[in-house]
Amino acid sequence: MKQYRWIIALGIAAIVLTGVFIFVDKLTKDKKEKAKIGGPKQLFSINADDIERITLDNEEGQYAFEWNDDAHRWMLIGDDSFDLNSYAVIAICNQICNLKSQKTVAFDCQDTAPFGFDHPVTVKVFTTKTDEDHPYVLYVGSNTPTYDSYYAMVEASNDVYTIDYTAGSVFCVAKDTLKTMYLFDTFGSQMTYYKCETDGVLPIEIKRNEDSSWTMIQPAPMTVFKANADNLMETIVRVTMEKYIEENPSDLKKYGLDKPWSKLVLQGKRDGIPAEQEIWFGAPVSDDEKEVNQYAYLPKTKQVIEIGKAMTSFIKDGPNKYILPYCYDVNIEQLSGLDIDMGSVYDMKESLTLDYANNKFTLSGREIDAKNESLLSLFQAYYRSISNLSFSDLALDAKPEGDPDITIVYHLRDGKDVTLGFVPLEQNNYALMKDGSYTGQTVRLNRFTGSSSVVPCYEELKKALN
């Protein structure tokens, strides 16, 4: 009898345990299903090549960006006129194309305000695959209390998700981040015009030609030193702003911009599209003697900015830096000879014949032995001291009169002659004349007599010849 009772008891226990197992298993499966439903989810899967336009609405305004096939870049469209930081738009595009949620925090949520959706950031993506009335729409709310995620929703769903904090930060971009931090965002080779007017410095205005050379317009038509002009353009396109200060300022005086001490105008092309920027420079950011930043103003976008003094130190450079330094720019291959007469300034009256192709040279009829390397080197140094003679300064208002004290005549192989005359202006300073016309340039006497210049090179050559 007892054995039957044990069998019955064991049967009942087995039935109970089986029931418990089934219940626990079902509970576990339900939890897994719920976890699966609330787990990571693909919110968008968009082909970036299909995107034509993106709009962004946030508390600072409404912005629209359109892809320009000709320029191969994102362009700002609409009423805003700031220069766009296209990388910020690229980041938005990259993040939304394959956006995934981390988890679902609320299903069919009826009150989304606690998650920041009473005033969400709204991102709309228009593609070639969707019509104008049905873009992809993302709503971004506030960040989570732990600052590791942002709340997000998509159109046509009341579910609230969390997305990665980095992605959320990209969508919640500030207006100033949408603006480029480059003073003129292009390449140096795409710069076509530069004009600078700075207090106490002669104005500079140069324009790039079709062959990439430069023409000087101000302060006077002179030959531009191309290497220095090109270096200037490369410097300009690397200049970045420290930060944006104020948009549409009502008072420029507090920034020292009511009477800017320098104005800069830049023109060029940005991805093939003409671009222009004007910059005014004002007061230092603080009264500290060691202050390194200054205020500047962009009239086109009506924006006050802060910019480093060192980055824009070129605005204090005079035109001398961008004028070809030589009194006459000529290559030895172009010359058959030259004559130099220093008159009463120095006992030097010589004629040089130059046959560079055949390595034959003479000094006032005396042949220079090309096999004598030391003598040939001294002759070449003397020639270079004359042909590389450089001007000292500009004196555009000077009116030189009288005969030149020093004369150099270049005889070109095409039969033409070019005459440089050095007419006294004041003691030890001469006005440079070219074929009888004043160039606006002056030459100090030490350009002839200083170390490694014309006179010492001549003396060394005479010693070797004697």
pLDDT tens track for 148-201: 999 999 998 999 999 999 999 999 999 999 999 999 999 999 999 999 999 999
Residues 6+ apart with CB under 8 A from 139: 117, 120, 121, 122, 152, 153, 154, 155
Least confident of 46-60, 72-86, 107-121, 268-282: 72-86
Separation of alpha carbons 230 and 211, rounded Å: 13
C-beta separation of 313 from 294 below 8 A: no
Whole-angstrom Cα distance, residue 136 to residue 151? 17
Per-residue model confidence (pLDDT) at position 204: 97
> pLDDT for 249-294, tens place per residue?
999 999 999 999 999 999 999 888 899 999 999 999 999 999 999 9
Would you say residue 25 has pLDDT above 80?
Answer: no
Query: How high does pLDDT run on average in the chain?
Result: 91
Which of 140 and 133 is assigned the larger pLDDT?
Answer: 140
Q: Which pLDDT band, with edges at 50, 70 and 90, does 18 fall under?
A: low
CA-to-CA distance for 396 and 218, rounded, in angstroms? 11
Residue 24 pLDDT: 46
**Cα–Cα distances in Å, from 100 out to 28, 36, 155, 398?**
26, 14, 15, 74
Integer Rg of the chain from CA: 38
Backbone angles phi, psi at 55, to 5 degrees: -115, 150
Tell me which of 71-75, 144-148, 249-253 is least confident. 71-75
Mean pLDDT lowest for which of 15-24, 39-48, 219-228, 230-239?
15-24
Q: Count the Cβ atoms, other than its own, within 10 Å of residue 303.
A: 21
341 DSSP β-pair partners: 349, 407
- Burial letters for 385-421: b for 16+ Cβ neighbours within 10 Å, e otherwise? bbbebebbebbeebebeeebbbbbebbeeeeeeeebb
What percentage of the chain exceeds 70 in pLDDT?
92
* pLDDT above 70 for 13: no
Dump strand ranges (E) for 169-290.
191-198, 204-208, 214-218, 241-247, 262-270, 273-284
Q: Enumerate residues 6+ apart whose C-beta is below 8 A from 123.
A: 54, 55, 56, 92, 96, 137, 138, 140, 171
> Tokens 């030459």 correspond to what residue?
443
| Residue 336 to residue 268: CA distance in whole angstroms | 42
Distances (CA, A) of 165 to 39, 95, 100, 168: 17, 11, 12, 5
Listed residue (34, 65, 43, 63) closest to 52, CA to CA: 65
Report the percent of the chain where pLDDT is more than 90. 84
Angstrom distance (rounded) from CA 301 to CA 183:
12
